[in-house]
Structure 1
């Protein structure tokens, strides 16, 4: 990945040069690009079957009000970064009683 020296935008390749969305250009450097890590050729991960795993063995839990049960229950949670890196993670919850799933974002 290359960033523009002028405006900081992420650049894309265009033949023998890097070009940013604002039109700035710079020549590509083969030696520098050889050291870059790419996702090209990487395989996607396997799907993990957890259907035979006890709920208590899957991830951390917390006491929280389930919107479906309308009562405080033990729920499993997971946090994922699904928005830009400068924003907080999204929390995903699953009620261990009814299986209802929901998410929470900081605003």
Structure 2
């Protein structure tokens, strides 16, 4: 990612030039600098938060301050996911340790 020297906004590549998304300033594309950028191809699934129906919650942290609406169990695995803006608390996704019922909790 390259940032504009004039206004600090992110620039986008257009051929051999970089163009500021805010003020329109241009600069040459810095090919040497692009080699330093981090690629997400090397990321592992360890950082992925599992909130889908198929997610495997077993082995995740357990909450004991919840009650399952389906079976009344007071223990559930949970994961956290930021579903709103960064200044809002994250959403907790639960899976009952007894019946497997899933729900989400908002703080």
Shared fold, TM over 0.5:
yes
* Greater share of residues in strand: 1
Residue 65 (str. 1) matches residue 67 (str. 2): yes
How far 1:37 sits from its partner (Å)?
A: 1.5
The aligned residue for residue 52 of structure 2 is none
Instruction: Output the TM-score relative to the length of structure 1.
Output: 0.63
CA pair 8-59 structure 1, distance change in 2 beyond 3 A: same
The aligned residue for residue 51 of structure 2 is none
Q: Secondary structure at the match of 1:31?
A: helix
CA pair 26-102 structure 1, distance change in 2 beyond 3 A: farther
CA pair 65-5 structure 1, distance change in 2 beyond 3 A: farther
Residue 38 (str. 1) matches residue 39 (str. 2): yes
How far 1:79 sits from its partner (Å)?
A: 1.6
Runs (5+) with no aligned partner, structure 2: 46-54
Alignment of 1:1-107 (within 5 A): 1-22=1-22, 23-39=24-40, 42=41, 55=58, 58-63=59-64, 64-66=66-68, 68-69=69-70, 71=72, 73-83=74-84, 87-106=88-107
Is this contact kept in 2: 1:75–1:96, CA < 8 A? Answer: yes
How far 1:84 sits from its partner (Å)?
A: 5.3
Distance 1:5 1:87 in 2: 32
Runs (5+) with no aligned partner, structure 1: none
Aligned pairs, number: 95
List structure 1 segments (4+ residues) > 4 angstroms apart after TM superposition.
43-46, 82-87
